[in-house]
């Protein structure tokens, strides 16, 4: 994406979230993913985890929340998303998703957004999203 670095205009937005047992059950039902790593505490512990591991798709859902409502916001169209999962997030742990515009071409409505999800002092995932912003009539 051809863009210009954003200097003083750089925007950063933060979304705090906690994934609940109900979120996990809803995602399993919707996705059909019944991997026991996500719902069987004993199996997760056998694998060296503190408990069931949050679905990566639920982390991506928080990225969708950030892009579609805050950065760049309403009218956002995803162009690409890259996430590298670094450490597990467990049910009930607070997590913080930070998005920072690293490059923007506002004339074309194109944005490159650095992403980082952290929990309890460790990086859960990091990556970047490319998005464009279309104008929506009647929406500020």
Is omega for the bond preceding 72 within 30 degrees of 0, making it cis?
yes
Each residue's pLDDT, cut to its tens digit, for the chain (140 residues) gives 333 344 335 699 999 999 999 999 999 999 999 999 999 999 999 999 999 999 999 999 999 999 999 998 888 999 999 999 999 999 999 999 999 999 998 888 899 999 999 999 999 999 999 999 886 545 44
pTM of the model: 0.86
Q: How far is CA 55 from CA 41, 74, 125, in A?
A: 14, 26, 12
Residue with structure tokens 């930070």? 98
Instruction: Give the DSSP letter of residue 140.
Output: -
Ramachandran class of 63: left when φ > 0, alpha when ψ lies in -120 to 50, beta otherwise: alpha
Q: What CATH number matches the domain at 4-133, 3.30.499.10, 3.30.70.2500, 3.40.50.12280, 3.10.129.10?
A: 3.10.129.10
The structural domains of the chain, with segments of one domain joined by +, span 4-133
CA–CA distance, 79 with 118 (Å, rounded to integer): 24
- Give the DSSP H or E segment for 107: none
């Amino acid at each position: 994406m051809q863009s210009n670095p954003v200097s003083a205009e750089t925007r950063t937005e933060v979304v705090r979230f906690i994934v609940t047992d109900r979120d996990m059950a809803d995602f399993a039902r919707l996705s059909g993913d019944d991997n026991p790593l996500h719902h069987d505490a004993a199996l997760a512990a056998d694998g060296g985890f503190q408990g069931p591991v949050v679905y990566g798709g639920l982390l991506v859902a928080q990225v969708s929340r950030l892009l579609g409502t805050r950065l760049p916001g309403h009218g956002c169209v995803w162009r690409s998303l890259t996430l590298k999962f670094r450490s597990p997030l467990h049910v009930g742990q607070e997590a913080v998703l930070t998005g920072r515009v690293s490059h923007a071409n506002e004339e074309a409505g194109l944005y490159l957004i650095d992403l980082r999800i952290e929990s309890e002092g460790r990086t859960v995932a990091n990556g970047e999203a490319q998005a464009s912003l279309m104008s929506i009539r009647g929406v500020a």
